[in-house]
Structure 1
Amino acid sequence: MTHPDSFNPVLFQRIVDCMNTAPQQRMTFAEFMELALYDPEQGYYATNQVQIGVAGDFFTSPHLCPDFGELLAEQFLDMWRVMGQPKSFTLVEMGAGQGLVAADVLKYLAIRKQSADSSAGYAAFWAALRYMIVEKAEGLIAAQQRLLQPFQFAPDKVQWLRFERLPEAGTVGCFFSNELVDALPVHQFVVQDGAVQEVFVTIDGDSQSFMEVLSTPSTDHLVEYLAGQGIDIGAGYEDGYRSEINLAALNWLETVSQKLERGYVLTIDYGYLAPQYYSPQRHQGTLQCFRRHGAHQDPYAYLGHQDITAHVNFTALEKQGLAQGLTSIGYIQQGLFLMALGLGDRLVANNNTCDITQLNEVIRRRETLQSLINPLGLGGFQVLIQGKGLNEKEQSQVLKGLQMP
C-alpha cells in the first residue's frame, strides 16, 4: 500500500517509531492521519509540500475570485449590525490556508469604509473589527503573513495564534472556517460480524509498508457516536461496510463554544447530514486523498505529499453545538448562501456589461461566479450557522432563507 518512490521517508520513519513504542505496535487511523498531515516538522501541512490553488493539489472557493471573501465580509457586517454594533467584534478564522479569505475580507472592508455611505456602517465596523487567524502549520503562517503584510500596520487588526491558545471565554464576534473540519483526523471503522471494528495502522514486517488491522474500538466514544447519530449498525449494514467518525470535530466545536461569549459560529465545508453520511449504499465511506488535483482513496500513498480528507457530518456538529450551549440558526447550501448575500446581483451586473472589448473578461467572470454556486461543485458545499448568547432577533435576522438541519 506504501509507494516508496513518492513519499517522505523521514515522516515514514517517525510514524514507524511511534508505532514501535505503542501498545501492540499499532496506532488508530486518526493518529496516523494526524501525523501524516500535521507532524510539526514533516507533515503535509507543515512543509512546503502543501500546494493549494488551481495549479496545486486542490483549490478552494477563495482561489477562484475575491467575491467569496467579499460576500463573507458582507455577512460579517450583517452579523455586527444585527448584534447592535458592538464596539469590539472579533473574527476568528480557523485554518486560513494561504490567507486568501482574510486578505479579501480585509481589503474589501478597507476600501468600502473609505468610499461607502457612512450610514452603511463600514467605517464603524472596520473600527470595531479584530481579525484573528488560528493556524498550526508554520509554512502556512508564513504565507499568510506575507499576503496580509499591508494590514499589519494597524495595531492589533490582524493577529495569529494557536488553537490551544485561543482567547479566554469572552469573545464577541464570529468563529468561522472554510474547509477546515474535513481535514481534521478521523477514526475509521469497518462492520465485521455485525459489529463495529476499528481500523488500526501497523507495519508489515516483510514488506516494511503500512498495513491495516481491525480490532475492538480504541474508545467507547465511537459506538456512542454512531448511536447518537441514530445509526444502528445491526440493521441494514453488511459486513465490509466502512466509514469514518470525526471525534476531533466534536472536541474542536466544544472549545469554540467555550471561547465564544456572544456571536456566531460559521462552518463551510463539504459533507452530509447523518442519514446520508452513513447511508448503507455509501459502503466505502467518504475518505479521499488529493494530489495534483487527482482524487483517490489510498491514504498511505504519497506520504507527506498529499492531502487526506473526509466529508463532514453536519448532524454531529449541530448536536454537539446544542450540547455545548450553541443554538442552531441555519443550514444551507453554499450556492444559496452566496446568492442571499448578493452574488446574483454581481452576476447581473457582469452580464449587463456592454463594452464589446470586455467580452472575454465578462465570460470568464461569469464562469467563475457560476462555479461558486454550481450545486455539483463548490455550490454544493454546506453552510452551518450556530449562535450563542443571542436573542431571537439576532438569530432570525442574521440571514434570510436559512433552513434547519
Structure 2
Amino acid sequence: MQLQLPDPGLDALMASRSLQTLIANDIRHNSGWIPFSRFMELALYAPGVGYYSGGAAKLGRDGDFTTAPEMSPLFGQTIAHVVADLIGKTTPQIMEFGAGTGKLARDVLTELAAMGVAVHRYSIVELSGELRARQQQTLRGFSQVTWLDQFPAVYSGVVLGNEVLDAMPVQLVTKTAQGWRERGIGLAPKKFVYRDRPCDPALLAQIPNADALPEGYLTEVHPIALGFVRTLADMLRAGYDYTGHGGAALLIDYGFPAHEYYLPQRAEGTLMCHYRHHAHGDPFYLPGLQDITAHVDFTAIARTAVNSGLDVLSYTSQAAFLIDAGIGDLLQRIPATDRLRYLPRANELQKLTSPAEMGELFKVIALGTKVELPEKFARNDRSHRL
C-alpha cells in the first residue's frame, strides 16, 4: 500500500535521494547486507543529509513531531525543581543530550534563576547542526550554555535526556521456522528490501523468554542505547572519583518494562516513523526526511545501569513524576480567574499527565551515583516492575 503523505518539495526530495545513494553504496560495500541499526544510523545521522544532521525543521508545528518541552513551559519549569534538589547534592552543572530547539534548557535555566539557584555550566551534546543553530538562537541570553560534540570523560552534576533513547538505532530480530534471525537491509532494483540472516545469540539476551514467543514475531533490541548508558555510567563514576561529588541522570521517553515490551501480542515490534505529524511504519519512505524511532526497553536500561555501577533512583510514569515534582503547584501560580493565561496552561498540563495523552506512555527513569531523589518520589516508584 502506497503512503499518502504531504509532498516534501524538490530540494528535500533531492536530499533524500542523495542519502538513498549513500545507503545503497554502504550496502554494496558490505556484501549486499547491513544491519537495520546501520540503516537507521545513516537515515538519521549521515553528515549533511541524515534526518538529524540535515537542515529540515524537526520539531513544532512545521516539523514532524512535538515534544513535551515544545508543548508547555510547565514541563521544563517542573524539571527545574527536581534539578534544583539534585544540584544541591552534587555540583551546579547540567548536561543535556539532544536538546531539541533549546526550549527545555531555556525553561529550566529561567526557573532555576527565579529560584535563586546558580548553574555554572549548562552543556548541550547535540549531533544536529540545524538544531544546534536553533538552540544557539533560543539560548543566546544564557552565557553559561556551551555545546559539546561528545561525552566528556569525567562529569559530576545533573544529566537530562528527553526523547533521546528512542532515537538511537536499534537492531531487528525475527523468529522464523529456522529459529531467530536478524533482519537487515539489502538491495533490490531501485529500492531497499528486508533480508534476514542468522542471528547472533547475544542479541536475544535482552528478550525474556525468547524461545516462547510465536513464529513470525518481530521486535527490536537496543545495543546502542545500552552502550550509551554504559558510557553515561563511566562518566558519572569518574566524576565522583575525581571530584567527590555524585551525579544523576533523568531520562524521559516512551517505552515499557521488558515484560510489557516483549508481549506475544506485540508481534510487529514498536518501530515507528514520523513525517509532518503523520505516524507510519515504513522506514524506507523518504530516508532523511522522517524520524525513525522505537520504544525504550526500560528493564534493559536499568539492568545495564546497575551492572555499570549506577543506582536506579526512580522509575515511574511521566504523569506521576511531574505531579510528585509539583507541576500542579506551578500551574496555580496563574490565578484561575485569569482565564486567558490559566486555561491554556491547564490544557497543557492535562496533555502532559493524562493517561490518554503523554502521561502513561512516557516514563522517567532516574539513574545516579552517590545521590538520592527526595522522599516524595518514592510513593509512585515502579522500579519493582522493571
Same fold (TM over 0.5): yes
Q: Which moved more, 1:136-145 or 1:292-301?
A: 136-145
Distance 1:385 1:286, change over 3 A: same
Query: Residue 149 of structure 1 aligns to which amino acid in structure 2?
Result: R
1:87-106 alignment to 2 at 5 Å? Answer: 88-106=91-109
Q: TM-score, normalised by structure 1?
A: 0.86
The Cα shift of 1:396 comes to 6.0
User: Among the aligned pairs, what percent are the same residue?
Assistant: 34
Q: Does 1:386 align with 2:372?
A: no
Query: Residue 285 of structure 2 aligns to which amino acid in structure 1?
Result: A
Structure 1 residue matching 2:352: 3-state secondary structure: helix
The Cα shift of 1:98 comes to 1.1
Aligned length: 365
1:44 alignment partner in structure 2:
51
1:252 alignment partner in structure 2:
228
Tell me how far apart the structure 2 counterparts of residues 210 and 179 of structure 1 sit (CA, whole Å): 28
Of residues 241, 255, 262 in structure 2, which corresponds to 1:278? 262
Query: Residue 353 of structure 1 aligns to which amino acid in structure 2?
Result: A
1:160 alignment partner in structure 2:
147
The Cα shift of 1:349 comes to 4.8
Of residues 327, 334, 343 in structure 2, which corresponds to 1:363? 343
2:164 alignment partner in structure 1:
180
Tell me how far apart the structure 2 counterparts of residues 349 and 367 of structure 1 sit (CA, whole Å): 15
Query: Residue 234 of structure 2 aligns to which amino acid in structure 1?
Result: Q
Tell me how far apart the structure 2 counterparts of residues 400 and 323 of structure 1 sit (CA, whole Å): 22
Tell me how far apart the structure 2 counterparts of residues 234 and 371 of structure 1 sit (CA, whole Å): 39
Tell me how far apart the structure 2 counterparts of residues 99 and 175 of structure 1 sit (CA, whole Å): 15
Tell me how far apart the structure 1 counterparts of residues 314 and 286 of structure 2 sit (CA, whole Å): 38
Tell me how far apart the structure 2 counterparts of residues 255 and 58 of structure 1 sit (CA, whole Å): 28
Q: What is the CA RMSD across the aligned residues, in angstroms?
A: 1.9
Tell me how far apart the structure 2 counterparts of residues 94 and 348 of structure 1 sit (CA, whole Å): 30
Tell me how far apart the structure 2 counterparts of residues 277 and 225 of structure 1 sit (CA, whole Å): 11
The Cα shift of 1:276 comes to 0.6
1:9 alignment partner in structure 2:
17
Note the residue ranges of structure 1 that are not aligned, 5 or more in a row: 114-121
Structure 2 residue matching 1:149: 3-state secondary structure: coil
Tell me how far apart the structure 2 counterparts of residues 318 and 304 of structure 1 sit (CA, whole Å): 31
1:158-237 alignment to 2 at 5 Å? Answer: 158-163=145-150, 166-169=151-154, 171-193=155-177, 195-205=179-189, 208-217=190-199, 219-226=200-207, 231-235=208-212, 237=213
The Cα shift of 1:197 comes to 0.8
Q: Does 1:316 align with 2:300?
A: yes
Q: Which one has the largest radius of gyration?
A: 1
Distance 1:398 1:388, change over 3 A: farther
Q: TM-score, normalised by structure 2?
A: 0.90
Q: Is residue 2–residue 210 contact of structure 1 (8 Å, CA) maintained in 2?
A: no
Query: Residue 364 of structure 2 aligns to which amino acid in structure 1?
Result: V
- 1:106-131 deviation line (CA, Å, top 9, x unaligned): 12222332xxxxxxxx2xxx0x5321
The Cα shift of 1:20 comes to 1.0
- 1:277-298 deviation line (CA, Å, top 9, x unaligned): 0000000100000011111000
Q: Does 1:239 align with 2:215?
A: yes
The Cα shift of 1:160 comes to 0.8
1:267 alignment partner in structure 2:
251
Query: Residue 26 of structure 2 aligns to which amino acid in structure 1?
Result: C
Structure 2 residue matching 1:300: 3-state secondary structure: coil
Tell me how far apart the structure 1 counterparts of residues 314 and 126 of structure 2 sit (CA, whole Å): 26
1:30 alignment partner in structure 2:
37
Tell me how far apart the structure 2 counterparts of residues 305 and 269 of structure 1 sit (CA, whole Å): 22
